């Protein structure tokens, strides 16, 4: 019964998200997780809801819980990297983005994230490597970042 009720709360959270009702969305995810703490989709959804509200520490907490439950999901690591990046914790962002790329080498957005992070960390050769990988995977690269990396490599 708890499992079905948790899934119902999860479904409500998804609906609230589509309606733009983030406060209700967060509450519904929390209710789902109170009933089923290992519900990865609810952990990620709650992390995304916090991320959308710029509550990066709370998002990181949820993404970490989800990552511990599904160690082979590159998308969760990508989300975690984005949260660290937005907090300007570039070392941590690099670590988890690299894990995302290791789990899913075809994840162009993670390569793009790494290009930005390595640029911020003044590791321009690595930034160029990952921006090239992102481009090859069809990611639209932010032109200012591309110019900045090329300028540093001259």
Q: What is the pTM of this model?
A: 0.91
Residue 86 inside a domain? The answer is yes
85 shares its domain with 139:
yes
Shared-domain flag, residues 75 and 114: yes
> Whole domain around residue 127: which residue ranges?
71-154
Provide the CB-side half-sphere exposure for 122 (13 A, CA): 0
| pLDDT tens per residue, range 2-20 | 889 999 999 999 999 999 9
Is 63 part of a structural domain of the chain?
A: no
The pLDDT > 90 percentage for the chain reads 87
- Residue 5 and residue 103: Cα distance in Å, rounded? 32
**Over the stretch 22-38, which tens digit does the pLDDT of each residue have?**
999 999 999 999 999 99
Which of 32, 34, 37, 57 is CA-nearest to residue 47?
57
Q: Residue 144 above 90 pLDDT? A: no
């Amino acid at each position: 019964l708890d499992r079905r009720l948790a899934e119902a709360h999860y479904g409500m959270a998804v609906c609230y998200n589509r309606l733009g009702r983030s406060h209700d969305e967060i509450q519904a995810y929390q209710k789902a997780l109170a009933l089923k703490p290992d519900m990865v989709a609810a952990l990620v959804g709650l992390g995304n809801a916090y991320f959308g509200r710029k509550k990066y520490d709370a998002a990181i907490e949820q993404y970490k819980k989800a990552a511990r439950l599904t160690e082979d999901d590159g998308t969760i690591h990508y989300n975690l990297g984005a949260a660290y990046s937005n907090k300007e914790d570039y070392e941590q962002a690099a670590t988890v983005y690299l894990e995302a790329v290791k789990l899913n080498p075809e994840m162009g957005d993670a390569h793009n994230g790494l290009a930005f992070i390595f640029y911020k960390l003044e590791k321009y050769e690595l930034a160029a490597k990952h921006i090239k990988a992102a481009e090859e995977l069809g990611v639209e690269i932010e032109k200012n970042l591309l110019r900045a990396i090329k300028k540093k490599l001259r």
